[in-house]
Structure 1
Amino acid sequence: MAGDAEATRRRLLDAAAREFAEHGIAGARVDRIAAAARSNKAQIYHYFTSKDGLFDAVLRELAEAILRDAPIDATDLPGYAGRLFDRFADDPVSARLANWYQLERAGGKATVDLVVASTTDKVAAVAKAQADGLIPDHFAPVDLLALVVHLASLWHSVTPEVGDLTAEHTRAHRRQVVVDAVSALVRD
């Protein structure tokens, strides 16, 4: 029975990730999530309390995967940016979820404890590397982290016009642009 409950929870999370990536938090519908998961809306509320709680659970899983697949090394921010680029290129659903999170949770609505804690830890790691003289300090730690993260996700958020002009760029080329840009940021 416990296996069935975990399987149901897993199906709900997977279906929700796809629904939220496609429609955002506001546009996502719990009835579509339940149908895609071969479950019912009552199970969503049982496991996650609300649609926002379900989104938070999906985002928490995304954060865990990013922390696992793209750990920060504040002394090698170009490498970190490359790993982040790879994570989003390998899983476009994650890139879309991150974009929706930025759009719909802007203005102080960050509620995913793991995201808040990991961001705080990353800023502290950058600050330590700067204090130790391992990377330049011409940007405040939080500003430098923001620049690195946004450069890593650059190709997943360009306008359609830029996308059209760079359609022939290979993944390797796009990744190299990210790594080179971050290298330029941390050059003395």
Structure 2
Amino acid sequence: MAWDTERTKRLLLEAATAEFSEHGLAGARMDRIATSAGVNKERIYQYFGKKDELFATVLATQLRETMDAVPLSGTGPAAAGDYAGRLFDHHIIQSTIPRLLFWEGLERGAGAAADAARIEYHRVKAERFRELLPGIDLEQAAELLLTIVTLVNGWPVLGHLDTLLVVGATGAPGDRAAARRNVIVRSVEVLASAAQAEAAARA
């Protein structure tokens, strides 16, 4: 029976995604990934290279899937807020991207920032985001997008701070995820409106 290469790659990527999300780059183990996938460890090196190369492949795959799952749509500040809200919802259900990005920042920050493919991915994303807010320039779009990503990605990995700062310090009741989502959406709408007003004043 012929070896199903694509299936093997998929199994390895799924196992590696779970492993890196849980343990980061330094703490992940290739033997655990292979065992979880039910595949010989040598297949990992054959298909994906060394551990840091596998991590990069996992993250790139997750970023593409997230971009497809949470598309940019509409125009105006409300569209920017809507995108932030939908991205927040996605990360509540699937916290893999925030966890991987935080691990990357801790363990590969400088290297990731010098990755030409990642730079191009983010340039394209910033250009698409710019289309939501007619009149703003690419730097404004990138700054707003960075703000959204920072706010949204923080919740899945820094939830304990919410417990300490909001729930613990103020006794705030209710659905904290929903409350936090509303704050993020409103904040992004205000910032998007300010960016458009600033761009119009310069025109």
Fold-level similarity (TM above 0.5): yes
* Stretches of structure 1 lacking an aligned partner (at least 5 in a row): none
Which deviates the most, 38-47 or 103-112?
103-112
Residue equivalent to 1:91: 94
2:72–2:129 CA contact under 8 A, matched in 1: no
Task: Work out the percentage of aligned pairs sharing the same amino acid.
Answer: 38
Q: Secondary structure at the match of 2:8?
A: helix
Distance 1:112 1:164, change over 3 A: farther
Structure 1 residue 22 displacement after superposition: 0.9
Structure 1 residue 164 displacement after superposition: 4.1
Distance 1:3 1:165, change over 3 A: farther
Residue equivalent to 1:13: 13
Residue equivalent to 1:55: 55
**Greater fraction of residues in helix:** 2
2:63–2:97 CA contact under 8 A, matched in 1: no
Structure 1 residue 64 displacement after superposition: 1.3
- Counterpart of 1:80 (choices 80, 83, 88) is 83
CA RMSD of aligned residues (A): 2.5
1:78–1:179 CA contact under 8 A, matched in 2: yes
TM-score by structure 1 length? Answer: 0.83
TM-score by structure 2 length? Answer: 0.77
Letter in 2 for 1:15: A
Residue equivalent to 1:121: 124
Structure 1 residue 166 displacement after superposition: 4.7
Residue equivalent to 1:183: 189
Distance 1:54 1:2, change over 3 A: farther
Residue equivalent to 1:171: 177
2:148–2:188 CA contact under 8 A, matched in 1: yes
1:85–1:152 CA contact under 8 A, matched in 2: yes
Is 1:149 matched up with 2:155?
A: no
Structure 1 residue 143 displacement after superposition: 1.8
Structure 1 residue 16 displacement after superposition: 0.5
Letter in 2 for 1:67: M
If you compute each CA radius of gyration, which structure gives the higher value, 1 or 2?
A: 2
- Counterpart of 2:107 (choices 83, 100, 104) is 104
Q: Residues of 2 paired with 1:174 and 1:79: CA distance?
A: 14
Structure 1 residue 144 displacement after superposition: 1.8
Q: Residues of 2 paired with 1:86 and 1:6: CA distance?
A: 30
